[in-house]
Amino acid sequence: MIKENKKELPTKKVHNAAQTQKKILEAAKKQFFENSYENVALRKIAAASEIDVAMVNRYFGSKENLFKEVLSSVLKEKKNIIPINPQKVGQSIAEYIVSELWKKEPEKNFYLFQLLLKSVTSPIAAPIIAQIFHEESIIPFSILLNSENSELKVGIISSYILGLITVVTALKSPTISPEHHSKIVGILGKAIQDCIDS
């Protein structure tokens, strides 16, 4: 009886490819976090990944595609990390956001925000940011709300949150400080809840 020779799956090769992609993605996150989209070159990402730039193009195709992957992966990491009390959605979100503001190195707590802030003025990156933010953040949260005009409400809520983060981490305004923690949570929480309930 002749035994059929079965080919072994190239698991090692697949594993190496996945590891290489992960390495590139991590290097790209760091580059986009530290620099604007326009000031990040694929060669820098390749050098940080310790691989040839041709490999970056092979796995991601272009800087635009790599930027999309970075944003998408960071947004997915952020999903479902806010402990939400169904009866107090606004309060839950506000408490989480404000608490993150006063932790050590708040810019790293808002990794995604820093990525957006540094690249939102780029004519190439801006529409990518808008698309990914809508697909990975606005739509899922609006589905969760499941109410009339939910996407509009989530858009407004996002503006409250992003505005607060901008004032504290980018503008470093002295008007919003840690000693006002509970008041800020109360005001922001009420604004979010009013938007949801409207």
What pLDDT, on the 0 to 100 scale, is given for residue 87? Answer: 74
> Tell me, what DSSP letter sits at residue 178?
G
Name, in order, each residue with C-beta under 8 angstroms of 107's C-beta and a sequence gap of 6 or more.
114, 169
What pLDDT, on the 0 to 100 scale, is given for residue 117? Answer: 82
Residue 81 in tokens: 């990390």
CA distance 64 to 134: 17
What pLDDT, on the 0 to 100 scale, is given for residue 96? Answer: 87
**pTM of the entire structure?**
0.76
What pLDDT, on the 0 to 100 scale, is given for residue 157? Answer: 94
Contacts 24+ apart (CB under 8 A), 159-164: 160/188, 160/191, 160/192, 160/195, 161/93, 161/97, 161/188, 162/113, 162/116, 164/97, 164/98, 164/101, 164/188
What pLDDT, on the 0 to 100 scale, is given for residue 34? Answer: 87
> For residue 175, which of 186, 187, 167 has the smallest C-alpha distance?
167
- Cα 43 to Cα 17, 183, 196: the distances in Å are 19, 47, 45
Q: Please answer whether residues 51 and 24 qualify as being in contact, where contact means their C-beta atoms are separated by less than 8 angstroms.
A: yes
Residue 79 in tokens: 């999903």
Q: For the chain (length 198 residues), average pLDDT per consecutive 10?
A: 50 69 92 91 93 92 94 75 72 89 70 81 92 88 87 94 89 90 96 91
